[in-house]
Structure 1
């Protein structure tokens, strides 16, 4: 999995990179076919925003999530939880399609 981390109006420090990497590794345990991840960190006044786009070979091809909080590390936690839920849902859809169930 290739991870691209960029920051707008802030410098992406090594501890931030490490923390994001740990959270993304957790996602890979649930869905091992993630090819590329793009993470954008933004600071607007007192609000820290983070956006991530995961590229996967099945389903829609992309999973996108946003999170914002007054603390960057809390925003990263929120984002990881959102991505985790979306990946689990995508995996369940894929498995049900492979088993021949209708997606109604």
Structure 2
């Protein structure tokens, strides 16, 4: 997975860059098929820095989130929280699609329904 960190209107220290990379790498826990992550930090307004995250996954799926808070760390946490939610939702959608593909829910009778004796047929014989 490729991670690119860029800055607008200022410079980041190497420690800040390393912290951003460490936090962003954890996104792979939520969806394994990530191909690249672009982090853009906008320091134009020092009192409220903005963090933009763009995550690309296999099959041309892109996830985008923006975080703005009073500190750089808080902005990053807001953006990562939004992305985690998007990735979780997409992964659930993909997993559910594979579970129900080919047949609608309720078309296949359960094992108990298939093996249960027909009670009405037994009553008629008596």
TM-score normalised by length of structure 1: 0.88
Does the CA-based 8 Å contact 2:10-2:44 persist in structure 1? no
The size of the alignment, in residue pairs, is 101
Aligned to 1:2: 2
Aligned to 2:21: 21
Q: Distance in 2 between matches of 1:93 and 1:17?
A: 33
Question: Is 1:72 matched up with 2:77?
Answer: no
Please list every run of at least 4 consecutive aligned residues from structure 1 whose deviation after the TM superposition is greater than 6 angstroms: none
Structure 1 gaps, min length 5: none
Aligned to 1:50: 51
Q: Distance in 2 between matches of 1:19 and 1:61?
A: 26
RMSD: 1.6
Q: Distance in 2 between matches of 1:31 and 1:14?
A: 27
| Relative contact order higher in (CA < 8 Å, ≥ 6 apart) | 1
Provide Cα deviations, 1:53-87, integer angstroms capped at 9, x if missing partner: 000114x6100000001100111111111111110
Aligned with 2:11: secondary structure? coil
TM-score normalised by length of structure 2: 0.74
Question: Is 1:61 matched up with 2:69?
Answer: no
Aligned to 2:31: 31
Provide Cα deviations, 1:21-69, integer angstroms capped at 9, x if missing partner: 12112211121111011110002332200001000114x6100000001
Q: Distance in 2 between matches of 1:12 and 1:35?
A: 24
Largest Rg, 1 or 2: 2
